[in-house]
Amino acid sequence: MAGIQIGKVFSPYVTDSYQRCPALWDKSRRVQLVSQKKYTAMLIGSAVALGLERHYKGFPDGQEKAEELVEAQYQEGSDRTLRGVKNLTKQGIELGMATNLGVTKIEAVEQFFGNIKPDLVAREKDELVVIDHKVKVNLKDEYLEKELQTFDCGNQMLHYAWAVGAEYGEPVERVYIHMIVLAPAPKTLLHPVKMTSERIQLWLQGVAKDWVEMEAITKRQGIAGTRFSSCIGKYGPCDMYELCHSFNGDEQAALTSGLYEPVAKRW
Ligand code: SF4
């Protein structure tokens, strides 16, 4: 994009974290909250995505591969039984495979574009589009619209359009959320997020500046400041709440307390 200096590019997930609170992103690279309860929604989403990836790559073993993933990563004491996770995964793959995506050609399946990996790059006639599967294990109809709106301005969608468009040398017209809802009323739908080069440029102006700051912090040339206005979100306190508010940011004290553990101990 003209006039915007792009240095190191960070993934949408970590950019989200940094924009919520620089300290959250920075601390999450080293410590994590010891979870009392093991949640399976993320595992179900990953397994469904794997099943759909195999399907769109033309392999008949999507259910089998997804079940293998669930068996390998399921932890005893989770919020659902192993059987329940397998059943929900199977249902999600079946639902996802049945969705009419309305595309005329699949260009790429789970292919890396820099540090992003969209589920599908496809064509609607001549137009380039990106499709991303999102699994919601439980989402009531009255919350569906609001949930979909959260994707309209998401870093992930804009980053997909920017990176895929650059690779193909042509604009991505839309990024679709392929929403797969498992309960209480199973359904799928496609939610289009319209892209324009002006919109991508405006987004890039903001994130490029954040990426410069993030790189400086990783090189110990900058400080990851706290953002107390983000400490309590719509789903409750930030995972680093006790670290910041009981241990005043002292990671070693938080680790010693047993409330936190070094990263990469959990799936
Ligand atoms: S508790 Fe607040 S200040 Fe600390 S990392 Fe989380 S959002 Fe940032």
Residue range 64-99, pLDDT digits in tens = 999 999 999 999 989 999 999 999 999 999 999 999
- List pocket residues of ligand 1, CB cut-off 6 Å: 21, 23-24, 27, 226-228, 230-231, 238, 240-241, 244
Measured by CA distance, the residue closest to atom 1 of ligand 1 is: 241
Residues 6+ apart with CB under 8 A from 57: 109, 110
* pLDDT above 90 for 170: yes
The Å distance, Cα 200 to ligand 1 centre, comes to 29
pLDDT at 5: 86
Structure tokens at 259: 């409330």
161: number of Cβ within 10 Å: 27
* pLDDT above 90 for 176: yes
Q: What is the pLDDT of residues 119-162, one digit of tens each?
A: 999 999 999 999 999 999 999 999 999 999 999 999 999 999 99
The least confident of 65-69, 73-77, 108-112, 180-184 is 73-77
pLDDT at 103: 96
Q: How far is CA 188 from the centre of its chain?
A: 18
Residue 28 vs residues 22, 37, 97, 162, 233: alpha-carbon distances, Å? 10, 19, 35, 26, 17
Helix (H) or strand (E) holding 129: strand 127-136
- Kindly list the domain boundaries of the chain, sorted by start residue: 1-35+197-267, 37-98, 100-194
Mean pLDDT of the chain: 95
Position 36 confidence tier, pLDDT thresholds 50, 70, 90:
low
Which ligand 1 atom sits closest to the C-alpha of 22?
A: 8
| β-bridge partners, 176 | 131, 192
Residue type for 92, please?
A: G
Q: Would you say 34 and 260 are in contact if contact means Cβ atoms under 8 Å apart?
A: yes
Position 1 confidence tier, pLDDT thresholds 50, 70, 90:
low
Q: Locate tokens 């929900």: which residue?
A: 88
**Which of 19, 29, 223, 231 to mutate for ligand 1's pocket (most ligand atoms within 8 Å of CB)?**
231
pLDDT at 267: 37
**Which of 20, 24, 33, 246 to mutate for ligand 1's pocket (most ligand atoms within 8 Å of CB)?**
24
Percent of the chain beyond pLDDT 70? Answer: 98
The Å distance, Cα 244 to ligand 1 centre, comes to 6
The Å distance, Cα 35 to ligand 1 centre, comes to 17
- 100-194: in CATH 3.90.320.10: yes
The Å distance, Cα 23 to ligand 1 centre, comes to 6
* pLDDT above 80 for 265: no
Measured by CA distance, the residue closest to atom 3 of ligand 1 is: 226
* pLDDT above 60 for 249: yes
CA distance 102 to 117: 21
pLDDT at 266: 45
**Which of 228, 242, 248, 250 to mutate for ligand 1's pocket (most ligand atoms within 8 Å of CB)?**
228
CA distance 261 to 117: 29
* pLDDT above 90 for 110: yes
* pLDDT above 90 for 37: no
Structure tokens at 70: 């669930």
